[in-house]
Structures are given as C-alpha cells and as structure tokens.
Chain A
Amino acid sequence: MSTAVAVVLLVAVIAYAVLGGADFGAGFWDLTAGGPQRGARPRDLVERAIGPVWEANHVWLIFILVILWTSFPEAYASITLTLFVPMMIAALGIVLRGASFAFRKTVVALRYRRIFGAAFAASSVLVPYCMGAIVGGIASGRVPAGGVAGDPARSWINPTSVVGGVLAVAAAAYLAAVYLVQDARRLDEPDMAQHFRRRALVSAVAVAVIAAAGAFVLRADAGHLFDGLTSRALPAVIVSGVCGVGALVLLHRDASRGARALGVVAVAAAVAAWGLAQSPYVLPESLTFSAAAAPTGTLTAVLVAAVLAVVVVVPGFVLLFVLDRRGLLPAEGLEDEADDVLEERPRQRTHSSGHDGA
C-alpha cells in the first residue's frame, strides 16, 4: 500500500512539474523578455497563457506536501528540519510570485505593472531553483532519516543540488517555451510563435547539456541515484531522451504539431526516472517508503482522496480548457448587457495596451 501512495506522490510531482513547472518557466521568459517596449508582446502572451490555470496548477504543490506529511511523516520532518533554508525561501517566493502575478493583472499603470512584473518574474526563477536544489539534497542522500536535521547548508549547497536547481529552471523554461509556441499559433501570432520557437530550441539544448554534465556530477556525488538511473530507471531515461530529441527535431522543422506532446513526455519521463532511481527510498539509503509509511488507515484515506481528486480535477480542467478556446457568447436574455460589453471592449483595449507599450 505504501507503494501505491508513493506512486500517487510521484504522479503528483510529475503533474506539478509539467503544469506548474511551465508556469514558472513562463515567468523566466517574462524576466528575460527585455524592456517594456520590446517585452510587451511576449509578456502579454505569457499572461494570457498562464492566467486561467496557474492557481489550479499550484494546488498540486499543496497536494504533494500534504501527501508527504500525511503518508510519510518521518520523511517530511527530516526534510523540513534539514532543508529549512531553501524551503523557507521557496515558500516566500511562492507568496511573492502568486500575489504579484495577481496584482499585475489588475493594475493598469505601467510603473506598477513593472514592479509587480519584476517580482513575479524573479520569484519564478528563484522558486524552481530552490525546488531543484531540495530534490538534489534529498536524492543525493543528504537528508538523514529519523526526524533529525542534516547539514543545514551543505544539504542544499552541493553539486547535485546545483545540477537539480539549474536543471529545474532550464526544464521549466523549455516547457514554457514549447507551450507558448502552441499558444501563439492558436492566437494567430506567427511572429510570437517564432520568438518562442527559437527560445524552445535554445533551452532544449541547454537542458540536454546540463543533463549530460549532470550525469558526471551524479556519478561522483550521488552514487545511489546514478546507479538507479543507469539500471531500474534506464527505460524512463531513454524515453525522456528520445522524446526530447524528437521534440527538438520537430521544433527545428517548425512542425505544427507534436513538439508539445513530446516535450511534456520528455520532462515527465525525466521526473519519473528520478522517482524510479530513488526507489525504494524516500530518503536514499536511509529511509524506505515502506519504513516511513503511516498506518494503513491513513494510507487508505490518502488513496481515496487521490481518486476523488482525479474524478473532480480532470473534468474541471477539461471544461476550463474548452472554455478558454471557445468564442464569446452574447449574454442571452440580457441583450443590453451584451451591447455594453461590445461597446466597452475597444475602449478598454487601447487603455491597457497603450500603457503596456508606452
């Protein structure tokens, strides 16, 4: 049963990586989009792409934390004791990021949009770095079992954590760029599609280089993980690599479809590879999932909650995506309101884009 919960945990981590990760990556492109004039259109696209879903994507993180502390409490205690600093930074970054994203969307004055935008974008890089570093600390066996603290600094400032952090930022940026190409095409903005296609290519290469260099680091610094990646997790590693290359080829050829799906599978398989390589340990070589597991009653409750969440979440997400792509309806039975809306639209548009571009 602890295995089933561990799988749920891994699936939640994958979902967070490919959904929430892309939101962070979009923040990276926001950060690097350039001055207010040049960056206005990419920023617009970024906002449009993550607007509806960022909150729901973010709930995956909460779900991960809750599953972890409920099902494997000893592991959560060890992790929070040891990795206090990067976790606190990540928590703060999340507050800054969510709040400033929400605020930016509601203010029109350029000055404020820039302040909130900067806070949003900077924390979008900081948070995935911290998360990658946390994963690196755990995966390299630097978090001791038994609810005791490991080294408060070297647990997250070490070679594997650096690889993890940089890789997380790069992979998030890559995913976001791949999504944004698609969004730009859908919204009929071919120049933006090209803009992000170039960035997707560059970041894909960056991810590949970091991953390759990372392999050497892991061999030296995280033996258990490296062994896992080259044995148990090898199929996932291969899937990830093949899909990554496939996505790269499609992006390069500017193919209209397929790149996004392959990119997602590549990242998902990489995360799965980490999970497989680390198993059966939740804290490598000191605590296994089954040793850390909560009593059966708790695990059953968590599994029931997970099934219910899927039942609720999937149809909800589908509905949301359908609406996002659907044209506007005039409001029936409120004819005059529909008129209102039509009158209002052009005026408001010059408002905000005028500010953006000024």
Chain B
Amino acid sequence: MLATSLDPLAITALDPLGWARAQMALTLMFHIVLVPLGVSWAFMTLIANYRALKHHDRDALMLAQRWSKYMAVTFAVGAVTGTVLSFEFGLLWPRFMDQWGEAFGVPFAFEGIFFFTEAIFIAIYIYGWRRLTPWTHFWSGVPIVVAGIFGSISVVAANAWMNAPAGFTTGSDGSVVAVDPVRVIFNDSMPLQAAHMLVAAYLVGGFLVASVYATAMLRGRTDRYHRSAFLISFSVAAVAAPIQMGVGDSLARWVYDNQPVKFAAIELVPTTSSDVPETLLGRLDADGTVSGGIPIPGLASWLSDPSTGRATVVQGLDTVPPDARPTVGQVNIVHLSWDVMVGLGTLLFLLAAWYGLTWLFRRRMPRSRLFLVAAATSGVLAVIAMEAGWIVTEVGRQPWIVYGLMKVEDAVTGNTGVWLSFIVIALVYLAVGITTVLVLRAMSRRFRRAGGFVDHDAPYAPSEPPTPSVPEQEEVR
C-alpha cells in the first residue's frame, strides 16, 4: 500500500490503485474501532443490568442506563461507516465484485439479518427502560448480543473467504458457474478467523471501556459506581485475553499450513530453512537479507510445529516469484505489525493475569497506582493490537485480493478520481472521529452533573414527552 501510494509517478498519473488501497484501508481501520464496542458493549451492559435487578444495585442500574446510551452513539457511527464499505466494494473493486460477488457476497446476505436485529433491538432496549417491566426489558437486550456475535462472524466469514476461497466452480472462461453457499461461509479460514475476531471484540471492548473508568479512578473518582464499571468491563477483557493467545496461536498455525508466503512475511523468512529463529523487530533488506532485530534461535520453527520442534521447515519468501508475494516494504509492514500484535497481546495478557491473581489470592482488585495507569492505557493498546492484526491479514495477503486467484491490481476500478474521494473521505472521517469522542465526553460530563437518567437524548431514544403548547410559549420567552 505504502509503496504504491508514495510512488510519485503513481500520483501524477493518478493511478487509482494506490489511492483505492489507501481509501479501503482508511475506512476499514476506522470502522473496525467501532465494531468491538458494537459487539461487546451490549454484553457488558446486560451484566450491569442483571446485577441491578438481582441485587437491587442502583449504581449498576445507572451504569446500564448510561452505557446503553453511549452504545447507541457508537453503534450509529459504526453503522454509517459500515455502509460506506458496502459502497466501496463496488466503487473501488468493481472487477472483484464482477468476478467473485456471487461467492464473496453470500455471508453478507446473512449479515443483513443480524444488522436488522441489532438496529431494532438497540432501539427497543433504549425505549424499554421505562416502558417494559424490568425483566422483560433485560431480555430485550439479549438479541443485541446475539446479533453482534453472528453479525461479526458473517462479515469475517467474507474476509476469511478472501484468504481461503472455496465453495464455487469456475467455467472455462474463468467465471463462477456454481456456488455452494455453505462451503463459502464455512470456508477453511472462517472458524479460527471468526473466533479470533470475536474474542478481539470482547477484549478490545472490555479494555476500552475499562480504561475510561481507570482514568476516572486515577483522578480520584473511586466511588462504588466507578469501581463497578471498571470491574465489569475489565473482567470481560481479562477473560478474553488468555483465550485470545490460544486462538491466535492456532490461527498462526493455520497460516503456516495454508498461506506459507504470508507466514514467511510474518516470521521474516527469506529462504526456506529449518531451525528458523523468531526475529523480534528487525527488517528485510532489498537484497533479501534480514538485518537488525533480536533473533530467538529456533523459536519460529518450534512454534510452527512443536511436534517436530526446531527441525520444522519454514517455507521462505523466495519459493514464489516476486510478483506472487508481498514486496519488501509490505513484508516489513507485516512483520512489524505481527510483533506489535503479539507484543501488545502478551502485555495485555500479563495485565489480565495480575488482575486475576490478585482476585484469586486477595479477593479484590489490585490497588497499586501502576495497575491503574496500565489499565488506563490498555484500551488504546488493545485497539492498536487489533489494527495490527488486520494489517497482518490484509497486507500479508498481497498481492492477492482473492488468495491465489485474483490480484489486487486486476480488481481495481478504472476511475481516476479516487485520489479526490480519498482526500474528502479522510477529512470527513477525521471530523466524525474527533466529534464522536467529544460528544461521548460531553455526554459523560452531563450525566455527572444531572446524576439521574433521562431516556430521550440518545440516537435511538424516544423523544422528550410532548411539550404542551402553552408552557412552550413561556419557555421560548
């Protein structure tokens, strides 16, 4: 991506390829930040809601009510940025759609059902606070959680299909003549990739929410309300963190078996060999040698297949011709992102272990300031880990848009105006991103001042009760 878009010739000739990749990457990386909140916040809200009803816990009730409203804002922004993606599949990659839409699109057809469910039940949940009996209302939140899970699985199934295309037959002219929708959705890469993303959604969502309350606690707001908020969200993340290590490990082995070139980029392996070291940082040079970094002897081989240990052979980048593998620049991006994901994943796991062990032995959360400082940064770190993971997947797949079947350059639109749409989109997204954060902060300040709960100032909320016409005159003055 970088290589193409920084090439001055590509810019003057307004070659859409670099711009289209940049635009796709930008809009996806923006959307994906909102996804974890959409998927996991409803779950955390229901935990708070459950506590409130079971134990008559007023703090938990207030928490559930406020969370449901923040959630509505992030859901709304997630929805519109997601819509842009559906346009972009065609606008930026029309030849991809033309050739593969009938297979790639199948998971999205089912995703629509889950989006409908999610959108409707978020509104019902917010409406229901004062219109449904408490337990009925609680249950009206459950479909949001379920739809979030299956919705993200469907979308990731489409991405996994790009990694492991299956479930179709092509005719003599290369066009798709038959599709097996079940095989498309349940392609080889889908179970692990979907699991990894789903756990990431809970991990990122949990740490993000927890980091807000850790910051508040550092500023001295250590009342029961803030503590409950922290405990609920951080516990969700702390459960997800170790699971994510396990799922990630299996996923890495899947890549080793199925996408050896991506794996070589991940592990920085220029030529096929055994006893491959795990290189931390470091870079691939243009002449195909690895420089810098800290090699841990044999570890990459050992991790790839513990049963053969250091004797495991790892296929190198040079086993495929240069035009069928990522460029040197892309290899370095993939490798660095890999280090970032695994490094941050490990740090977050350690943080979760600290919390878990303290609970186990002391029956309370860690009290040290260092823990709170670490927890306050965990949200951003988790988002970075997730973005890095996607970069590994997407850039590591280069130059293929459909692995082994279609190259990105053969998929791109012929429109030369993409540079302009990229710039406009970048500006709009910047504004929307900043405003979202400001709006959420303003909401929280207002909640703190008002203290209670009002059900009509969130995006799906009912409106204020009708203002009778006579007092209206007075209010307007």
User: A residues touching B (Cβ–Cβ < 8 Å)?
Assistant: 37, 40-41, 44, 47-48, 51-53, 55-56, 58-59, 61-63, 65-67, 69-71, 73-74, 76-81, 84-85, 87-88, 90-92, 94-99, 101-103, 105-108, 147, 149, 152, 187-189, 191, 294-298, 300-302, 305-306, 308-309, 312-313, 316-317, 319-320, 323-324, 326-334, 336-337, 340-341, 343-345, 347-350, 352-354, 357-358
Contact = CB atoms under 8 A, between A and B. Distances in A.
B119 interface: yes
Contact of B454 (A53, A294, A296, A344): A344
A174 B436 CA distance: 32
A37 B439 CA distance: 24
13 contacts: A55-B123, A58-B80, A71-B105, A81-B415, A91-B91, A98-B83, A102-B77, A106-B443, A107-B439, A295-B179, A328-B130, A334-B53, A345-B454
A66 B112 contact: yes
A68 to B, nearest CB: 8
A297 B177 CA distance: 10
Contacts of B177: 295
Contact of A95 (B58, B428, B446, B460): B428
Given A56-B116, A188-B466, A349-B464, A297 B475 contact: no
Interface residues of B, number: 102
B281 to A, nearest CB: 37
B472 A52 contact: no
A78 B477 CA distance: 57
A73 B123 contact: no
Interface string B97-109: 1111111111011
A102 B79 CA distance: 11
Contacts of B108: 66, 70
A301 to B, nearest CB: 4
Given A51-B460, A344-B453, A90 B87 contact: yes
A99 B466 contact: no
Given A324-B462, A341-B452, A350-B475, A91 B88 contact: yes
Nearest to A344: B452
A320 B120 contact: yes
A88 B425 CA distance: 9
A152 B110 CA distance: 32
Contact of B413 (A80, A187, A301): A80
Given A312-B116, A341-B452, A323 B131 contact: yes
B401 to A, nearest CB: 14
Contacts of B98: 73-74, 76-77, 147
A69 B90 contact: yes
Given A333-B56, A336-B58, A81 B414 contact: yes
Contacts of B100: 73
B112 A70 contact: no
Contacts of B425: 92
Give the 6 A-B residue pairs with the shortest CB-CB distance, closest first: A70-B105, A73-B101, A80-B90, A294-B102, A48-B463, A77-B98
Contacts of B82: 62
A328 B443 CA distance: 23
Interface in B341-361: none
Contacts of B442: 106-107
B132 interface: yes
Given A62-B83, A147-B98, 4 more contacts: A70-B105, A297-B180, A324-B127, A341-B452
Given A40-B476, A94-B83, A329-B132, A105 B457 contact: yes
Contacts of B104: 70
A76 B90 contact: yes
B147 to A, nearest CB: 9
Contacts of A99: 76-77, 80, 432, 435-436
Contacts of B131: 323, 326-329
Which secondary structure characterizes the binding site on chain A? helix
B86 A53 contact: no
A105 B79 contact: no
Contact of A55 (B76, B89, B133, B467): B76
B89 A69 contact: yes
B459 A105 contact: yes
Given A55-B123, A108-B446, A353-B472, A61 B109 contact: no
Nearest to B114: A312
Contact of A56 (B80, B123, B179, B462): B123
Contacts of A73: 97-102, 105
Q: Which of B94, B168, B429 has the most C-beta atoms of chain A within 10 angstroms of its own C-beta?
A: B94
Contacts of B90: 65, 69, 76-77, 79-80, 87
A326 B137 CA distance: 14
Given A76-B101, A320-B120, A329-B130, A103 B439 contact: yes
A69 B105 contact: yes
A205 B466 CA distance: 31
Nearest to B126: A52
Contact of A94 (B80, B103, B413): B80
* A87, A92, A188: residue with the most chain B Cβ atoms closer than 10 Å: A92
Given A66-B86, A84-B417, A59 B119 contact: yes
A70 B476 contact: no
Given A55-B460, A84-B417, A91 B83 contact: yes
Contact of B121 (A84, A87, A98, A316): A316
A155 B467 CA distance: 48
Given A59-B115, A73-B102, A77-B97, A106 B124 contact: no
Given A70-B105, A80-B94, A297-B178, A103 B435 contact: yes
B113 interface: yes
Contacts of A320: 120, 123-124, 127
B116 A313 contact: yes
A87 B102 contact: no
A67 B80 contact: no
A323 B73 CA distance: 21
Nearest to A74: B98
B398 to A, nearest CB: 22
B33 to A, nearest CB: 14
A152 B421 CA distance: 14
A262 to B, nearest CB: 26
B375 interface: no
B457 A352 contact: yes
B124 A316 contact: yes
A70 B109 contact: yes
A87 B87 contact: yes
A91 B418 CA distance: 14
B443 to A, nearest CB: 6
A179 B60 CA distance: 39
Contacts of A66: 86, 105, 108-109, 111-112
Query: A187, A312, A333: which has the most chain B beta carbons within 10 Å?
Result: A312
